[in-house]
Each structure stands twice: as C-alpha cells, then as structure tokens.
C-alpha cells in the first residue's frame, strides 16, 4: 500500500475522529502526505518519537495505541498477570497519550499504575522496580522541539528495553492493523475492573529518600548547604517538584527558580529547543545571575533525565559546561569521595558510551576502577548494570553519556537529572569549601589527566530524502575506507554495523603510506550491531558518525587531545573543519 492509499484509508476510516480527518483533508501538498504516510513510526534508541499529528509516521493516539497493543501482547506472552507503570511529562498531548496507553493495556487485562500528574522519566524507571511491574511506558520526547512527542518502553528491570526485546515487540506491532486489532476500554470501565490505579505521593516519598541517600558529603551539607547560592530552571518541564524537594530537604535553602520557566508548558514559550545542551535556554537564568551572583546554575530538560550546568570561568564570566565536562567532574568527585571514605569497592566500574569523552578514562583508572564502553543510548548502560548484578562481576559507581545524561545508584536504570542535580550541587559546595569554582576544578582535572576537547555536530536532514542521504553517507564512508584526516593517519576504524574493529599497522618508513600499504588486523566487536562508524587517529583524536535514533539528524562526534586548553581548542577547530569537509562532500 503506497502513501496515498494509506492517506485515503485514514480519511475514510470509521475509527478516525473528525479532528484528525480534518487535519488530513487540509493537506494539499503530496510531499507532506508522503512524509506522514510513507512508513510507520519506528522504534529508535529511545522508542517511538516523532512529530505530533495525523498519519502513520506521526505521534497520535492511534500510533501510540498500536504500539501499546504490540507491547501488551509481548507482556501477556511472557508473564502471567503482568502489570505496567506509566508516566508522562509536560509536552503537548502527553497526558492524552498516557491515558490512551493505559486504556489499551487494561483492554488486554494488564494492570496499570498511572501517575496522577507529570513526573520525570527516571521516576518511571524507579516505579517499575518499586511496584514490581513487568513493564513501563513514559510519554516524552525528551529534549526535542515542541512539535515532537514520544513513547519510551521499559522492561521489568526498570531499564529501557534493549535490542532483542525491542525486536520482538516490533514484530508484534508490525503484525497489527492500526484500526481492527487495537483494543481499548473507557476509563470508567478500567477503574471499575480494578485494573487502573492512579499513583503519586506514596511513590514520590520513597524515590526522594533514595535520591537523598546517595549524598556523599552529608556532614558538609548539614553544616554548609545554606551557604550555596543556586539558580535552577526546569525549562517548563517535570523536574521542579523532585529537584526542589530533594535540595530543600537536604538543607539547600538558597535555591532560586527561574520563574519564567517554572510552570510546565508544552509550547516551551521561552525555549524553542528545550534542551540544556542549547546555551540559549539559560539566557533568563544568566540575567538573574547578574543580580544574585550564584555559585552554580543548572537546568533540566522536559522529562528531567538530562541536566546542563553553568559555572563561572577564571575570568568571572559564566560558561556552559559540555556534557563531557560535567561527566568528568562527576566521575572524579564520586570516585574521590568514595575513596576518601574507604568505601570504593575493588571491582568498581564506570560506564560510558562510545561517543563520550576519553578524558574520563585516566580519571577512572587512577582510582583502580574499570571504564566500560557501550553503544550510544543509556539503555545499554542500564543493561550493563543488570549484567553486573547477575554475574557479580563489577560494582556500578557511575554512568555517563556526552548528551548530558548521568546516573549513580542502581534503584533507577536510566539517566536521572534529579540524582545528578543533587550530586552536582553537593560537588559545587565541596569545591567552594576548597576555594574553587567548578570551572577551576575542571581545569585542575585537565592539568592532571590531559586536555581533551570534544564537539558534537548535528546535521538536520528532514523527510524520506533526508533519511536516504544519511544512509548513503554512512555507506559511502564504509565503502571508501579513510586513509587520513587533516594529515594524520587513521590507526583504528570501528564498524559497529559489521561488528568489526580494524587496526592498521602503518609502515613509518613509507612516505604518504596509504591503507593498501598497511597491515590490517580485524577483530570482532562484542556489542550489539548499530549503524555507527568510529575512527581513531594516530594522535588520539577521533570522530564518530551515526544517524540519530530520535531525530531526523546525522550526528558527528569529534574529539582531540592537546597540550593546553588553547592548544586543544585550536586542534579541535582544525579537526572539525577537516572532518566536516569530508562529510559535506558526501552529502553534496
């Protein structure tokens, strides 16, 4: 069935409501019709995610309910009397999608615990474990622009479902007719059957206490917390309640909320891109800072799983830290604090993704801990934590990814900006008592462990043509093996789609040695397959190219090592230009 046939099927369906039909009827552009119907919305690294609207390639109650029906069939086939927890954030249609999800689960005789109001994604992960559910769903598009929403699926361990489970769930979904096969009931029937229960404060209390239990400097906080000046913005999202509650209960009295961004609002009126990676979301907070001179500023995205940090640099100007920089600081702070207390297990492990800074490696190893790499996506970090518990191989200390996601503790199995906010605040207090800002502490880490610099380039490529360009770029890079970048030879290439790690032994005596003149040794990569390419150069610089799993973008990650901050920044700029010249040549 082509896209026009699918379009007409929706127009003529007796199931589709009039509001959706009218939206479709008003579309005159065939390109727009094609983009809405040329495929079904697919699971990526974060589950379903897409633009809100009518069509098979859009987020609406029909595509959400179809995904739920498929997941319900998976749960019913694997568990006896399964139950699920459901949460949602502040985005447009989040509440409606959450309720539609709940009613489809109930129609399949699955008990549902639905939060009474918006909650952060990590609280959903916690709730699945706390209520001993077999699955979970959170309705969120994380940090995407306002036109997006999403649907993230969780397993009984509280982690996002990983590849094997996702493949099976997708199989169930793909075998469904979006209208004939999807079940639902009324809310009244769901409650009367005892299969829909609304939850709130009881779960909140347990979660808040567990977050506070992760504090590493309780005596310091007790004595000095009131001295720290903090500005926090929830960026119109779900983080306000738990973060304010955790910090105030610990004794951080001087917590100032950005009023203009305090209330949940799916239109994000002050931040068109509600992502703490985007410096502009801190503009209002920085205006406040000129009056209040805070020690630290931070902000969380709409579902409160990512956190961005702003600190004063050595000139007195406020600087937005990268996700890698905050991750390095947190990893060092946690390892040092545990070591100071003689509480660092001998089999300690820190987990990062393959696109996250290598700058953390020397830090971790200096404490005798192990650094483990996973594919991009925090679900793989959650999967490793589960593996540690099953094999007793390592003690999980900290997980980090460059996209501003962090986790400590094991009662949550996804990145958690509530936990991170508490640890970052405590860390800022610790360094303040040491006479240092967080920026000065970061510089000390660079001086001790090496000056690494990283950057992420996101190339937006919309629609079917955009997806084809991304696929072609990866295929071309894979076929035309890179010899060098910016005059530096490639030492290793990692192809995660083919599960191959290629090491090149280059003959230093041959001028302009190319890959044909080098000896290749190929070893297998013991990670799930993914359409990702990574190149490590002889000077330890590296870059990664991959399609985004949640947005119509191709992402290019870059990293260099320099002899100083200025040197590393200059090297990064030159390296970026050289890599992007190659990428842009392919994209055309």
| pLDDT tens digits along 506-563 | 555 545 545 445 568 999 999 989 999 999 999 999 999 999 877 789 999 999 999 9
Mean pLDDT, the chain, whole residue set: 94
Is 142 annotated as catalytic? yes
The 3-class secondary structure across 128-167, one letter per residue, is HHHCCCCEEEEECCCCCCCCEEEEEEEECCCCECCHHHHH
| Fold category of 207-449 in CATH | Alpha-D-Glucose-1,6-Bisphosphate; Chain A, domain 3 (3.40.120)
DSSP 8-state assignment for residue 570 = H
Q: What are the Cα distances from residue 87, in Å, to 125, 140, 247, 305?
A: 9, 9, 23, 13
Q: Which of left, alpha, beta for 342 (phi over 0: left; psi -120 to 50: alpha)?
A: left
Q: Is the four-CA dihedral 97, 103, 106, 108 of positive or negative sign?
A: negative
Q: Which residues pair with 155 in a beta bridge?
A: 135
pTM of the predicted structure, to 2 decimals: 0.93
Q: How far apart are CA 13 and CA 2, in angstroms?
A: 17
E strands in 512-576: 519-524, 533-537, 542-547, 553-562
How far apart (Å, rounded) are the C-alpha atoms in residues 588 and 584?
Answer: 6
The total of other beta-carbon atoms located within 10 Å of residue 328's CB is 26
Distance CA 249, CA 62 (A): 42
Residues 6+ apart with CB under 8 A from 95: 88, 118
pLDDT computed for residue 551 by the predictor: 76
| Residue 112 DSSP class | E
Please tell me what DSSP assigns to residue 225. G
CA-CA-CA-CA torsion sign (147, 265, 320, 248): negative
Pick the closest to residue 439 from 314, 546, 533, 345 (CA basis). 314
CB distance 120 to 166 below 8 Å: no
DSSP assigned state of 52: B
**Are residues 25 and 12 in contact, defined by beta-carbon separation less than 8 angstroms?**
no
In CATH terms, are 39-193 and 452-587 the same topology?
A: no
pLDDT for the residue numbered 45: 52
Q: How many C-beta neighbours within 10 Å does residue 510 have?
A: 10
Q: Where are the domains of the chain?
A: 39-193, 207-449, 452-587
Q: How far is CA 281 from the centre of its chain?
A: 18
Give 484's strand partners.
489
* Residue numbers in the chain where pLDDT is lower than 50: 510, 513, 515-516
Residue of 83, 142, 238, 548 with catalytic role: 142
pLDDT score of 508? 52
Q: Which CATH superfamily is domain 452-587 in?
A: Alpha-D-phosphohexomutase, C-terminal domain (3.30.310.50)
Nearest Cα residue to 71 out of 143, 175, 148: 175
Buried b (16+ CB within 10 A) or exposed e, 415-436: bbbbbbbbbbbbbbbbbbeeee
The verdict on domain 39-193 having CATH code 3.40.50.10860 is: no
d(CA 309, CA 307): 7
């Amino acid at each position: 069935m082509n896209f026009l046939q699918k379009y007409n099927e929706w127009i003529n369906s007796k199931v589709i409501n009039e509001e959706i039909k009218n939206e479709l009827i008003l579309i005159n552009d065939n390109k727009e019709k094609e983009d809405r119907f040329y495929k079904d919305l697919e699971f990526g690294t974060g589950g379903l995610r897409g633009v809100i609207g009518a069509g098979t390639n859009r987020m609406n109650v029909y595509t959400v309910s179809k995904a739920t029906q498929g997941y319900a069939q998976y749960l019913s086939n694997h568990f006896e009397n399964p139950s699920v927890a459901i949460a949602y954030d502040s985005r447009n249609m989040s509440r409606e999608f959450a309720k539609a999800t709940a009613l489809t689960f109930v129609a399949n005789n699955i008990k549902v615990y639905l939060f009474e109001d918006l909650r952060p994604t990590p609280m959903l992960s916690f709730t699945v474990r706390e209520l001993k559910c077999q699955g979970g769903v959170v309705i969120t598009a994380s940090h995407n622009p306002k036109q997006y929403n999403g649907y993230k699926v969780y397993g009984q361990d509280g982690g996002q479902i990983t590849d094997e489970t996702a493949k099976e769930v997708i199989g169930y979904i793909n075998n469904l007719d979006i209208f004939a096969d999807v079940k639902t009931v009324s809310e009244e029937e769901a409650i009367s059957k005892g299969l829909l229960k609304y939850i709130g404060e009881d779960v909140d209390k347990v979660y808040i206490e567990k977050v506070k239990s992760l504090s590493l400097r309780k005596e310091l906080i007790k004595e000095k917390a009131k001295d720290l000046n903090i500005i926090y913005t929830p960026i119109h999202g779900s983080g306000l309640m738990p973060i304010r509650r955790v910090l105030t209960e610990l004794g951080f009295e001087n917590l100032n909320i950005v009023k203009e961004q305090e209330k949940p609002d799916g239109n994000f009126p002050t931040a068109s891109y509600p992502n703490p990676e985007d410096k502009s979301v801190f503009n209002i907070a920085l205006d406040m800072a000129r009056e209040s001179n805070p020690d630290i500023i931070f902000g969380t995205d709409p579902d409160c799983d990512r956190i961005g940090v702003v600190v004063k640099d050595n000139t007195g100007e406020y600087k937005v830290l990268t996700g890698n920089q905050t991750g390095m600081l947190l990893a060092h702070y946690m390892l040092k604090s545990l070591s100071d207390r003689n509480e660092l297990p001998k089999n300690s492990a820190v987990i990062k993704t393959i696109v996250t800074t290598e700058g953390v490696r020397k830090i971790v190893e200096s404490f005798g801990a192990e650094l483990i790499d996973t594919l991009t996506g925090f679900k793989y970090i959650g999967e490793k934590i589960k593996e540690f518990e099953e094999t007793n191989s390592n003690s999980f200390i900290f997980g980090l990814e460059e996209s501003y996601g962090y986790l400590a503790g094991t009662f949550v199995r996804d990145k958690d900006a509530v936990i991170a906010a508490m640890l970052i605040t405590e860390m800022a207090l610790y360094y303040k008592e040491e006479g240092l800002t967080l920026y000065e502490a970061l510089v000390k880490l660079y001086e001790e462990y090496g000056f690494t610099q990283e950057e992420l380039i996101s190339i937006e490529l919309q629609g079917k043509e955009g997806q084809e360009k991304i696929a072609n770029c990866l295929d071309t890079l894979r076929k035309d093996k890179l010899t060098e970048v910016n005059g530096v030879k490639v030492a290793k290439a990692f192809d995660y789609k083919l599960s191959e790690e290629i090491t090149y032994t280059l003959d230093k005596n041959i001028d302009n040695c190319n890959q044909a003149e080098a000896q290749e040794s190929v070893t297998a990569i013991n990670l799930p397959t993914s359409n990702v390419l990574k190149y490590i150069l002889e000077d330890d610089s590296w870059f990664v190219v991959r399609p985004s799993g949640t947005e119509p973008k191709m992402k290019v990650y870059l990293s260099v090592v320099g002899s100083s901050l200025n040197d590393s920044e200059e090297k990064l700029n030159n390296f970026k230009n050289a890599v992007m010249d190659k990428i842009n040549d392919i994209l055309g």
